[in-house]
Amino acid sequence: MLEIENIYIKYNREILKNSNLLLNDYGITVIKGESGSGKTSLIRNIIFKEHQFAHYFYNKKEIISESQMDHLFSIMDQNNLFIEDLKISEHFELLKKIYHSKSIDDYIEKLEVKDTFNKYPGQLSGGEKNRISFLMCLLKNTPIIILDEPTAALDSYYTEEVKNIIVKESKEHLFIISTHDPVLFDIADTIYQIENKKLICLKYCIALTLLSACAPKQSQET
């Protein structure tokens, strides 16, 4: 379980305040909100790239350093981070050497990216980059997979394939998805919405979880 207490994100303006986030060990969590509402900033705090919260717990242990979490995350972001001088096949081989990866050959076939393996990132379309970035996240085989708009630039066929893969893999991984795509809302176990500078749990918040995840904790006097 991952829990972040009293999130307070502020730059030149206040983005998010008095909010908590509670996530299970696996399944699909969607974070939605208008553009500029703070979804990307929230993700940066989840991966500990920023520290705009009071407390961060993973499996009931308080986390105080980014290095404690590095091995837990793989991230697909909107910048599609590639090494421009490496072919796509070389990206995959590099990841296999670094991570305890697993076979994703079936997914490579389903998303029809084999023809891109001899290409460089600059030769790919936006949709191809998205599909490759998604597969690279799966290849890393980390407990938590974070996807920022994974179906952007994809047609309905590839969107359906990505959705089906996420559902299958969510039995063993926690997916945290920032998206505007209602197709992904439909498969979410948990949905958070950023609205009026608050993080609101919209789905699967029973009473105790609602108290913990959707409202700031109050101090108690003894």
Q: What is the pLDDT of residues 11-66, one digit of tens each?
A: 999 999 999 999 988 999 999 988 888 898 999 999 999 999 999 999 889 998 88
pLDDT tens, residue by residue, 185-217: 999 999 999 999 999 999 864 433 444 444 444
Contact 47, 176 (CB under 8 A): no
Q: Helices 156-169 and 126-140: crossing angle, nearest 10°?
A: 10
